[in-house]
Amino acid sequence: MTSESLQQIIIEPKGKLGGFQFRELWQYRELLRFLIVRDIKVRYKQTVLGGLWAILQPFMSMVVFTIFFGHLAKVPSDGLPYPIFVYTALLPWQFFSGGISSSGNSLVANSHLISKVYFPRMIIPAASLGAGCLDFLIAFMLLILMMFYYGIFPGVGILLFPFLMVLVAFASLGVGMILAALNVSYRDFRYVIPFLVQFWLFATPVIYPASMVPEQWRWLINLNPMAGLITGIRSSLLNLPISWTDIWISGTISLLLFVIGIFFFKKMERRFADII
């Protein structure tokens, strides 16, 4: 066989963002849907309460926080009943933290797929985040009942709510992709994720209002992308004054985290099948 008859095929990433292609993700949208449905079925398979677990977790957290922080510690709640004040923030927070935890461990959990067949690996952490959307919608039903009970109705600011939740999803997926890539190379990151989520909770105005932070330090807390987003979500749902500065700062950082997550994930992706 002569050298002229030999062919060499070089596969290189195309497009921008380190090979990230929206078109390729769209082509695999059925796989994304399948993985989301699979994760939902696995989550509720052979459970007694089924979807009620999505309500029970934030509800019990609300009860504990109300007793210890609302009644005993007398943490202010911007003039609102403390239960609905904290529950409104717990919903986006648990969507965010659940997305980080599930997507951060998703590549290791799906190692059998990665080592056998090609598909955009980013679909795996995205599917883990998508499965949490159902939990959020179920738990949101309880918030609606609580708003009727306390006689609190949203104003025109509720139109901002869907956009803020999209930014929460971007932030969660960005951090989740970084942790997922690191977890493949360094398996002890699975122990770092719960600690990170717990620390991040207390650095976010979930159980306390952002107004407790002195004005000169508000810019610092807004470097936490969830701070401005959760405050904005609480304001949009409970008809409170909206701090556009906080939303712009946190929203920009959320998008930045998403872009950084894509770059980092694509940079590490070529090593996944070899070391997973």
pLDDT at 145 over 60: yes
- Number of continuous H segments (helices) and E segments (strands) in the chain: 13, 0
| Mean pLDDT rounded to a whole number for the chain | 84
Q: Find where tokens 């679909």 sit.
A: 123
Query: What is the structure's pLDDT at 190?
Result: 79
Query: What is the structure's pLDDT at 68?
Result: 93
pLDDT at 32 over 90: no
Q: For residue 53, what are its two tokens?
A: 């677990």
Give the Cα separation of 117 and 50 in Å (integer): 32
pLDDT range class, residue 18, cuts 50, 70, 90: very low
Rounded to an integer, the average pLDDT of 71-100 is 92
Query: What is the structure's pLDDT at 15?
Result: 46
Percent of all residues in the chain with a pLDDT value above 90, rounded to a whole number? 39
Give the Cα separation of 17 and 115 in Å (integer): 24
Higher pLDDT, 31 or 200: 200
pLDDT range class, residue 207, cuts 50, 70, 90: very high
pLDDT range class, residue 46, cuts 50, 70, 90: low
Closest of 156, 152, 175 to residue 95, by C-alpha: 175
Query: What is the structure's pLDDT at 155?
Result: 87
Rounded to an integer, the average pLDDT of 234-240 is 93
The answer to whether residues 191 and 213 touch, using CB atoms and an 8 Å cutoff, is no
Q: For residue 9, what are its two tokens?
A: 């095929």
pLDDT at 185 over 90: no
Give the Cα separation of 182 and 95 in Å (integer): 21
Query: What is the structure's pLDDT at 248?
Result: 92
pLDDT range class, residue 250, cuts 50, 70, 90: very high
Percent of all residues in the chain with a pLDDT value above 70, rounded to a whole number? 88
Determine phi and psi for 8, rounding to 5 degrees. Answer: -120, 125
List Cβ neighbours of 47 (8 Å cut-off, separation of 6 or more). Answer: 53
Around 22, how many Cα atoms within 13 Å sit in the side-chain half-sphere? 0
